[in-house]
Structure 1
């Protein structure tokens, strides 16, 4: 089984990749808009969800609370849907005869990489949540075991030389 440390480091690597994909995707979208304006054609921009997903992943790797893991999983799922939609929109643009075929292919490639990284990030977040839940269970079990040991020690401390004390009306007396 993967350790929590390996999951976190994998999550950090994927988050950095998603940030890079998001920035690259936005830059390619801006280039596409500038080229389209020069040719007086309409072009969609790229408001990449991968950038937000990557930033949430960095936060999730630092603070592993349940709420942040849910937020990151939600961002990954939204990034996954946004990447699929972006791929479909750009695929429709590739069919148009213009000189931006290579730009559209680059945008589609980034969308595919983003979709893959969002899918992997969602899976890793589920693994991390499971690992954290198991860790918390073990800590709780250890704490309960420690409480039982302390209670047993108190019972042994209440005896003197192996003779138990007898309590009468709130007062203790040794036989």
Structure 2
């Protein structure tokens, strides 16, 4: 968008500032839309939920595993990835924006694909069989000699890397009792 605003007489920095303001306004609009959602009253009585009980051990193990995964994945942030693409391949700002847009689209698209896939091969298999190729694609991208190959591998990673998110949550809900679900969700999510 900053490049598209250049013919109108705006320099790149002004275009970036305009995009930042637009993004902030869209965030406020989203907040206003969420505020319009009517509040629902709980359908169950407050006594039907409990802290972790019989599922405590499995939830602790899952929380440790998920935290380790989040710790490792946390080393790759978009700003560092963008810097690497700028430095190694001399990627332009507009090309980076185009890449990260499609990377985000693929990540979002992976959620319904993960639900479909998990119905066919199971929750754990979906987590494992998408997470491992995603990690391999990331490692190979670091070694890629050309920009198109690096971007293709990173897009493959984007398409696969988030498939474990909905399946992980579904698995946690499946292995705990109904009364423990809220506590288990909190306990496995907060450490991440």
- TM-score computed with the length of structure 2 as normaliser: 0.29
Q: Which has the larger radius of gyration?
A: 1
RCO higher in structure (CA 8 A, sep ≥6): 2
- TM-score computed with the length of structure 1 as normaliser: 0.31
